[in-house]
């Protein structure tokens, strides 16, 4: 059989050779081949049609080909570009301007454990080219995906450097970990790829549908992101490129807190509304008891009164108070990035190396605490042909490794107690940021205790929280692989991957004192040091074979993969009191006095891998196509997880997918407008096991703080408790997804269309559903619910050329509908944490059957009671005044004009918990992406926009239920203060009133938005660059990131992923003063040598 095949091949070859020989010896033709931007394309194939003679372009895009006659047709082809056939004619120079192939039919995309021609793909995948992502100049690659990948919801967690993104592929299917699986060069790497510089990335392939992700079985339920790092292309000459940019970042939309005069006015209005005496501000400012005590402030008498007089006098002379947001933000915070890449290939070696440096200052705290991210990456990828027999390379060896070193000092971006921006919004504007006579060594203005003991100077708070912490982290991710091909197209590949991380931290807690409640005494100073390291490994073995039998093409793959956690993990940390040197530079544990009590030492150490565990997987895939017209893919994966007992350990995941390239059919020949069309349909299963270890048994664990028998109040007795209720039957969560899609190219591929519809049902949802208190320990995860996500995704592209003017438009859109279908406990409800919007308030987010995960829950309101007549008409069904059990209706709680009209949903005349309903949904109904690009000669421009629609945000910039002295934003000017002044915001009050205290839709805002993420204009020097000789290509550009956001949302940013608590990954849309995205203006240069 094999012999016959060989013979036929030789015969065909011989025939081709003869035919080209027939035309005899011709002349030589040369030319330069450039891309759509006029940039030379190296490595382009130039073939004589109907022959085997040909060549490739050199690094300057230049080729030279002998044996050509006037009748010769040149076939010029390059991956990603439309092949051109050109009759040479009498010319001796044939330059070609290649057009990108919109549908990229020959493009090869990365699929699980392999590659596939894009034309043959049956699932819903998205591929993004690394150079395109790099062109968007974001500090992380995932940010760049925003707005260009339908069905992949990309949200930036906040604007802090290194804050990362939140990726949700086709909705949220679980209340646990909803992050996709990230695989970099075959190695699973955890919950993000922030360790990679965008310049390291060759491509990102997102597997959205279950059939595509099914080959990853257990971990594919939230989608899979496959990242390929850069490497040379076969036959390409060495290419060195540099991309650098420098920019400045500024706060884009500053929230306006009230100034001093406005603050005092609004505070007094609340008092006046409650018939209380307004504030005697002069006395309040001077009532600084702590600072008046000479013992506290270095022996100065009455410093507190002096301080109050200073502030009072400043106000008399027209001072508007401190603008805290201004104080903590840095103007023109710099960002710079430099990256070098070397790629190339020789006969037996393909290589790629990269180095990058990013230094991004934080717009908050950048100049006060040196906040920002510094990241260095270094990467080396090589592939070597080691053994060659009979001209066939039968053994390859390769490696990909990326090293990252990063240093990130952040500011607080959490709940109301750990959020520096929130502090800046709520602290009164009367406190000076700095004061000459301040007892503080840095001159921070002390707390004005007469206003509130708790309102400490936000600049000082930020400084003492963050300025004395240092940390560095390192990652090394990569793999080594060998590939054996003993028989043509039969490949055995074995890859050993490692994902490792290590780093250290150091901290110094200095003494300081700015008020009675904001101080650390000298004997409470401490030093901390910590270090960590860890790694896990992935060993993958696959065997693949592909073969063509006439019109039938098959490809099969089987494999085995082991992910082991038990490799190396180590965490150590310690703190000790009594530093020997009052200097942060000397903050090392050994520089402390010997401890005199146990309370002065704290140490912990743990090996997070000591429990062993991991995953054992078997996978297989068979792909078949007939004439590349009908495609069928079947995959199967069997996964074993250490999280389950043997009887539930293994889960099987199947998928089947089909495709039909209908434009290959005869009838399509008449449809001249249609260049390409494919229908796809798939069904598949994915799993999820992410529940943590040992949930199948009742674990008995030691408590850090046990019970304190005996006279020692510093150390508890050794105390063990049964930690959880067991669930020995806990097993795999499975999500099933149907996908139907269409790809088409029309009008000479000017128009491209991709359409997908999907429905994803997560079954046996792993959820820690609340159980009855009588259980005696916390609930175990159960396979206890179903969640449904469904939606459509569309990508429409248009590109055309008018003379030298080329332009293109891409529109993407995606809808998601999320619904909890089943929750297997009697209540059918999971409530979020309380005290989110303000201390003393109820929960905001909720999971409930029939509703979207994490919807907002509270009281509906029907405007404000405008006058006494409306108050009198606000009655229950019996005509009696509405009742409010929470707080009653006596005294200051009496119903009066300016109060919120809460809706009595059950019409019982009482407003209580029974009247709470779903108010809104933080999950957008629709996400839109728009990309525009145009070029004229060397000038080019790109715009990327993204938008989200139909979602809501819960906003609270102050702790309204307990801290009445906290400042407001100017939004409070829209309050009710007389009939007709507002129908949304109630009157002010000096006490905790239900108007504010109840979680209601007065805090909820529609947050539809469309953002111009990126605008780039640049100039490409084209062939002019290469004429200069020492570099081949050059571009200069200017980019603005986060240029403008079209929105009616009045907060800093309508993109809010924060859910109010780190415990609730399923919640989102809680805006407590989120670190805003900066607007960045930068200039950059790309050079290729």
Query: Which of 688, 1045 has the CB closer to another protein?
Result: 688
Phi, psi at residue 8, to the nearest 5°?
-60, -45
Query: Which of 517, 905 has the CB closer to another protein?
Result: 517
Query: Which of 490, 669 has the CB closer to another protein?
Result: 490
- Contact indicator for 257, 366 with CB cutoff of 8 Å: no
d(CA 628, CA 119): 8
Query: Which of 802, 880 has the CB closer to another protein?
Result: 880
- Contact indicator for 1029, 927 with CB cutoff of 8 Å: no
> Minimum CB separation from another protein for residue 117, in Å?
24
Q: Where are the beta strands (DSSP E) in 92-161?
A: 96-97, 108-111, 114-117, 125-129, 152-156
Contacts of 249 (CB under 8 A, 6+ apart): 332, 333, 334, 335, 360, 361, 363, 1078, 1079, 1080
> Minimum CB separation from another protein for residue 820, in Å?
16
> Minimum CB separation from another protein for residue 825, in Å?
6
> Minimum CB separation from another protein for residue 832, in Å?
13
> Minimum CB separation from another protein for residue 70, in Å?
49
> Minimum CB separation from another protein for residue 176, in Å?
19
Q: Is 41 helix (H, G, I), strand (E, B) or coil?
A: coil
- Contact indicator for 396, 486 with CB cutoff of 8 Å: no
d(CA 954, CA 545): 54
For the chain, state the CA radius of gyration: 33
Contacts of 584 (CB under 8 A, 6+ apart): 468, 508, 510
> Minimum CB separation from another protein for residue 538, in Å?
12
> Minimum CB separation from another protein for residue 522, in Å?
8
Query: Which of 138, 538 has the CB closer to another protein?
Result: 538
Contacts of 262 (CB under 8 A, 6+ apart): 970
> Minimum CB separation from another protein for residue 712, in Å?
8
Burial of 749-758, coded b for 16+ CB within 10 Å and e otherwise, reads: bebbbbbbbb
- Contact indicator for 542, 113 with CB cutoff of 8 Å: yes
Is the dihedral angle over the CA atoms 37, 39, 44, 48 positive or is it negative?
Answer: positive
Query: Which of 912, 1006 has the CB closer to another protein?
Result: 912
Phi, psi at residue 131, to the nearest 5°?
-70, -30
> Minimum CB separation from another protein for residue 782, in Å?
13
d(CA 714, CA 321): 45
Closest CA to 969 of 256, 220, 380: 256
> Minimum CB separation from another protein for residue 886, in Å?
4
Contacts of 296 (CB under 8 A, 6+ apart): 290, 439, 513
Query: Which of 75, 271 has the CB closer to another protein?
Result: 271
Query: Which of 655, 724 has the CB closer to another protein?
Result: 724
Query: Which of 693, 1038 has the CB closer to another protein?
Result: 693
What does the block give as tokens for 172? Answer: 């949220």
> Minimum CB separation from another protein for residue 247, in Å?
38
* DSSP one-letter code for 558: E
Query: Which of 230, 286 has the CB closer to another protein?
Result: 286
d(CA 533, CA 538): 17
> Minimum CB separation from another protein for residue 763, in Å?
23
* DSSP one-letter code for 261: H
Query: Which of 885, 978 has the CB closer to another protein?
Result: 885
What is the Cβ-side half-sphere exposure of residue 818, based on CA atoms within 13 angstroms? 24
- Which residues sit opposite 17 in a β-bridge? none
> Minimum CB separation from another protein for residue 649, in Å?
7
What is the Cβ-side half-sphere exposure of residue 157, based on CA atoms within 13 angstroms? 17
Q: Where are the beta strands (DSSP E) in 458-600?
A: 469-487, 490-509, 512-513, 519-520, 526-549, 552-577
Burial of 504-520, coded b for 16+ CB within 10 Å and e otherwise, reads: bebbbbbebbbbeebbe
The CA-based diameter of the chain, rounded to the nearest angstrom, is: 109
> Minimum CB separation from another protein for residue 700, in Å?
4
Residues in the chain: 1089
Q: Is 366 helix (H, G, I), strand (E, B) or coil?
A: coil
> Minimum CB separation from another protein for residue 730, in Å?
14
Query: Which of 22, 277 has the CB closer to another protein?
Result: 277
Query: Which of 97, 597 has the CB closer to another protein?
Result: 597
Query: Which of 177, 560 has the CB closer to another protein?
Result: 560
- Contact indicator for 369, 288 with CB cutoff of 8 Å: no
Residue with tokens 């060896």: 397
- Which residues sit opposite 969 in a β-bridge? 257
Query: Which of 290, 1009 has the CB closer to another protein?
Result: 290
Query: Which of 516, 933 has the CB closer to another protein?
Result: 516
d(CA 197, CA 402): 10
């Amino acid at each position: 059989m094999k012999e016959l095949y060989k013979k036929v091949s030789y015969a065909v070859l011989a025939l081709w050779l003869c035919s080209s020989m027939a035309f005899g010896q011709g002349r030589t033709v040369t030319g330069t081949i450039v891309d759509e931007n006029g940039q030379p394309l190296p490595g382009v194939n130039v073939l004589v049609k109907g022959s085997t003679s040909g060549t490739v372009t050199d690094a300057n895009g230049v080729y030279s080909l002998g044996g050509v006659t006037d009748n010769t047709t040149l076939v010029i082809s390059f991956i990603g570009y439309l092949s051109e056939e050109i009759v040479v004619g009498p010319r001796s120079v044939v330059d070609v301007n290649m057009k990108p192939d919109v549908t990229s039919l020959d493009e090869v995309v990365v699929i699980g454990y392999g590659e596939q021609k894009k034309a043959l793909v049956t699932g819903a995948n998205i591929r993004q080219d690394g150079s395109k992502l790099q062109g968007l100049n974001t500090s992380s690659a995932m940010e760049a995906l925003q707005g260009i990948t339908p069905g992949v919801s990309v949200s930036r967690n906040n604007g802090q450097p290194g804050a990362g993104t939140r990726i949700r592929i086709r909705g949220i299917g679980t209340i646990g970990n909803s992050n996709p699986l990230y695989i970099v060069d075959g190695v699973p790497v955890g919950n993000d790829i922030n360790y990679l510089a965008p310049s390291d990335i060759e491509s990102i392939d997102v597997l959205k549908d279950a059939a595509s992700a099914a080959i990853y079985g257990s971990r594919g339920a939230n989608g899979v992101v496959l990242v390929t790092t850069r490497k040379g292309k076969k036959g390409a000459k060495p290419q060195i490129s540099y991309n650098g940019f420098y920019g400045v970042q500024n706060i884009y939309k500053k929230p306006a807190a009230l100034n001093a005069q406005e603050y005092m006015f609004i505070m007094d209005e609340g008092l006046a509304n409650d018939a209380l005496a307004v504030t005697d501000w002069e006395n309040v400012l001077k009532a600084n008891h702590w600072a008046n005590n000479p013992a506290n402030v270095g022996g100065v008498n009455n410093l507190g009164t002096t301080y109050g007089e200073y502030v009072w006098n400043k106000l008399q002379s027209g001072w508007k108070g401190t603008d805290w947001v201004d104080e903590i933000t840095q103007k023109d915070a710099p960002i710079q990035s430099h990256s070098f890449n070397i790629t190339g290939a020789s006969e037996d070696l393909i290589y790629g190396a990269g180095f990058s440096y990013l230094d991004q200052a934080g717009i908050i705290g950048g100049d006060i605490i040196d906040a920002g991210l510094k990241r260095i990456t270094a990467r080396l990828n090589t592939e070597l042909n080691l053994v060659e027999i009979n001209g066939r390379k039968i053994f390859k060896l390769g490696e990909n490794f990326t090293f990252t070193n990063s240093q990130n000092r952040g500011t607080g971006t959490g709940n109301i107690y750990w959020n520096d921006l929130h502090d800046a919004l709520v602290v009164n504007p009367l406190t000076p940021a700095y004061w000459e006579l301040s007892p503080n060594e840095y001159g921070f203005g002390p707390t004005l205790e007469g206003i509130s003991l708790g309102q400490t100077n936000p600049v000082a708070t930020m400084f003492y929280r963050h300025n004395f912490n240092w940390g560095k982290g390192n990652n090394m991710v990569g793999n080594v692989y060998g590939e054996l091909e003993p028989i043509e197209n039969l490949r055995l590949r074995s890859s050993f991957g490692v994902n490792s991380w290590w780093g250290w931290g150091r901290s110094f807690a200095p003494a300081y004192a700015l008020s009675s409640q904001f101080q650390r005494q000298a004997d409470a100073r401490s030093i901390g040091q910590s270090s960590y390291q860890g790694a896990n490994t992935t060993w993958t073995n696959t065997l693949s074979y592909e073969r063509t039998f006439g019109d039938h093409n098959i490809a099969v793959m089987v494999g085995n993969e082991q992910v082991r956690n038990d490799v190396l993990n180590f965490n150590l940390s310690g703190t000790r009191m009594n530093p020997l040197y009052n200097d942060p530079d000397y903050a090392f544990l050994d520089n402390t006095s010997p401890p005199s009590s146990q309370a002065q030492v704290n140490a912990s150490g743990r090996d997070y891998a000591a429990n062993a565990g991991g995953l054992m997987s078997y996978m297989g895939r068979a792909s078949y196509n007939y004439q590349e017209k009908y495609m069928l893919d079947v995959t199967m994966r069997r996964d074993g997880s250490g999280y389950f007992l043997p009887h539930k350990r293994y889960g099987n995941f199947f998928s089947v997918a089909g495709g039909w390239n209908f434009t290959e059919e005869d009838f399509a020949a008449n449809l001249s407008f249609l260049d390409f069309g494919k229908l796809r349909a798939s069904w598949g299963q994915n799993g999820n096991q992410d529940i943590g270890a040992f949930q199948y048994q009742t674990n008995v664990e030691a408590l850090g703080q046990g019970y304190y028998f005996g006279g020692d109040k510093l150390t508890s007795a050794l105390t063990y408790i049964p930690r959880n209720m067991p669930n020995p039957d806990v097993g795999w969560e499975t999500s099933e997804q149907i996908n139907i899609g269409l790809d088409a190219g029309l009008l000479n591929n000017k128009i491209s269309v991709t359409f997908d519809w999907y429905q994803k049902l997560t079954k046996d949802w792993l959820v820690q559903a609340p159980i009855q208190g009588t259980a005696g320990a916390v609930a175990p995860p159960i396979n206890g619910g179903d969640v449904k996500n469904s939606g459509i995704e569309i990508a429409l592209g248009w590109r055309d050329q008018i003379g030298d003017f080329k332009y293109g438009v891409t529109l993407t859109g995606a809808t998601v509908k999320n619904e909890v279908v089943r929750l297997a406990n009697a209540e059918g409800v999971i409530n979020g944490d309380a005290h989110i919007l303000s201390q003393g308030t109820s929960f905001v987010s909720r999971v409930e059957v029939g509703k979207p995960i994490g919807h907002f829950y509270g009281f509906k309101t029907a405007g404000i009671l405008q006058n006494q007549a409306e108050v009198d008409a606000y009655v229950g069904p019996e005509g009696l005044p509405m009742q409010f059990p929470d707080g009653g209706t006596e005294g200051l709680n009496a119903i009066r004009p300016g109060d919120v009209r809460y809706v009595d949903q059950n019409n019982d005349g009482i407003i209580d918990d029974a009247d709470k309903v779903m108010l809104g949904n933080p999950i957008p109904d629709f996400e839109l992406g728009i990309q525009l690009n145009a070029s004229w000669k060397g000038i080019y421009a790109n715009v990327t926009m993204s938008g989200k629609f139909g979602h809501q945000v819960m906003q609270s910039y102050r702790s309204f239920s307990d801290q009445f002295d906290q400042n407001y934003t100017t939004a409070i000017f829209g309050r009710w203060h007389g009939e007709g002044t507002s129908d949304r915001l109630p009157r002010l009050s000096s006490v905790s009133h239900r108007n504010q205290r109840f979680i209601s839709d007065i805090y909820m805002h529609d947050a539809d938005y469309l953002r111009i993420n990126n605008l780039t204009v640049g100039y490409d020097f084209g062939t002019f660059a290469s004429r200069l000789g020492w570099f081949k290509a050059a571009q200069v550009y200017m980019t603005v990131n986060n240029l403008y956001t079209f929105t009616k949302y009045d907060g800093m940013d309508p993109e809010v992923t924060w859910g109010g608590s780190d415990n609730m990954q399923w919640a989102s849309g809680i805006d407590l003063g989120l670190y805003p995205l900066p607007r960045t203006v930068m200039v950059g240069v790309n050079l290729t040598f």
